[in-house]
Amino acid sequence: MSGTTDQRTARDGLEVRGLTVRIAGRTVLDDVTFTVPPGRRVGVIGASGSGKSMTSLALMGLEPTGAEVTGSIRLDGTELVGLRDRERARHRGSGIGMVFQEPGTALDPLRRVGAQVAEPLRLHRGLDRRAAATAAVALADAVGLPDPASLLRQYPHQLSGGQRQRICIAMAMAGSPAYLVADEPTTALDVTTEARILELFERLSTDRGTGMLFVTHDLAVLARIADTAVVLDHGRVVEQGSVRTLLDAPQHPATTALVDAARATARLTGGST
């Protein structure tokens, strides 16, 4: 028990300071600063084009080729900006993982999903083929996939959207990363599946102490999954703080616009935020 606390405080968190990304002369992210404390869930919201996705890609070192990245991204004390891809790749999957928006295209269509889950297992845990296959089944089970042994023998196109996303989550967690970046992971899913996947994210972060950066445009999802959030507008952080405050008392016009829009939709659908 105290071991866990020590572990927690020994980590500094995922600290982003002055992150700026320029592509072909255009500034896509401008001086973005926030922190994901260890084990906490932080949301990123904004309208389309606000730079949400670019933030998550930049954290992973997967920004488009030709993009200029300046500023600082510290993963529990290690500076990531400026590293060559070979060194950066060492942190991907083991220090920080990512789940993307479109599970349909995120998986290799030519390989069985079991092999795709096994790949990071072998990479990060040094397992041989057989051990990795066993570990993959355990991991698939941990992310809530039914009948994992036979499901892993299938190809991506044979699975449902929710199942594919769970596979992606399994792959992202395979290296036991300290932090997970999720870029609109439930946007392409139906509402029921979305709820279950969000449950999964909550469980993973609580059980494993994984810090999460959750990118979304949906305030309902944000309210559910995150404690604090960062609001992006045109590449800049315009407001950040607890989700409760952002929703009840938004300061910046961009935040207000998002909240108002969400309220209007909720009124139309008869629900409440």
- Minimal distance, residue 86 CB to another protein, in Å: 5
Q: Cα separation of 61 and 84, whole Å?
A: 9
45 or 107, CB closer to another protein? 107
Is 120 or 250 the residue whose CB approaches another protein more closely?
A: 120
CA-based torsion, 11, 17, 21, 27: positive or negative: positive
User: What is the torsional sign of CA 266, 196, 201, 122?
Assistant: negative
The per-residue DSSP string of 73-111 comes to EEETTEE-TT--HHHHHHHBTTTEEEE-S-HHHHS-TTS
Complex with another protein: residue 66 or 270, whichever CB lies closer: 66
- Stated as kind and residue range, the H or E segment containing 223 is helix 219-225
Rounded least distance, CB 88 to another protein, Å: 8
CB of 31 or CB of 102, closer to another protein: 102
Structural contact between residues 199 and 228, judged by C-beta atoms closer than 8 angstroms: no
Least separation in angstroms between CB 235 and another protein? 15
Binding site for another protein (CB under 8 A): 60, 62, 65-66, 85-86, 89-90, 92-94, 97-98, 100, 102, 105-111, 119-120, 123-124, 155, 157, 168, 171-172, 174-175
Minimum CB–partner distance for residue 253 and another protein (Å): 25
Nearer to another protein, 156 or 250 (CB): 156
Least separation, in Å, of the C-beta of 114 and another protein? 13
Report residue 38 as tokens: 């260890």
